[in-house]
Amino acid sequence: MGNFALKSTAFKDGGIIPARHTCDGDDVNPFLEIRDAPPNTKSFALIVDDPDAPGGVWDHWLVWNIDGKTQYLSEDSIPAGAFQGLSGAGHSKWGGPCPPRGNDPHHYRFTLYALDTILTLAAGAKRAELEDAIAGHILAKTSITGIYERK
């Protein structure tokens, strides 16, 4: 379980997220790779947020019921059978980085949870509902962080 990892070909952990994945570009989710999930993983849940957002943490993407055998999340798509929740903007889809111009660079956390269950949570749920649903079912978690700043 110590090797459980989330990687991206679009950016390195702590690196700059390319504009293609932001409101300044095509605003599509980046390619993500899941490595070395715990053997009993039934599903994954992913939360992408911005802790530097004015007014507090901003949710950019909530995805769950990603099949436990999934190794990749392709760019601009979600795996079959997965559900998306409401972002801070109230949309059930990827909402890429879009910090206010003139702000210091914002950090975007991609946190992946390996779960011992498939959630019964309906599409369109909010983050608090997702967090309640995964509580007690987390086998492991991993994360990467990307940075973005609008000039």
Walk along the chain (151 residues) in steps of 10 and give the mean pLDDT of each run. Answer: 89 98 97 97 98 95 98 95 96 96 95 98 97 98 97 81
Q: What is the 3-state secondary structure (H, E, C) of 55-73?
A: CCCEEEEEEEEEECCCCEE
Please report the domains of the chain, with CATH numbers, ordered by start residue: 5-148 (3.90.280.10)
Predicted confidence at residue 1, as pLDDT, reads: 46
H helical segments located in 17-136? 127-134
| Sign of the torsion formed by the C-alpha atoms of 82, 114, 121 and 26 | negative
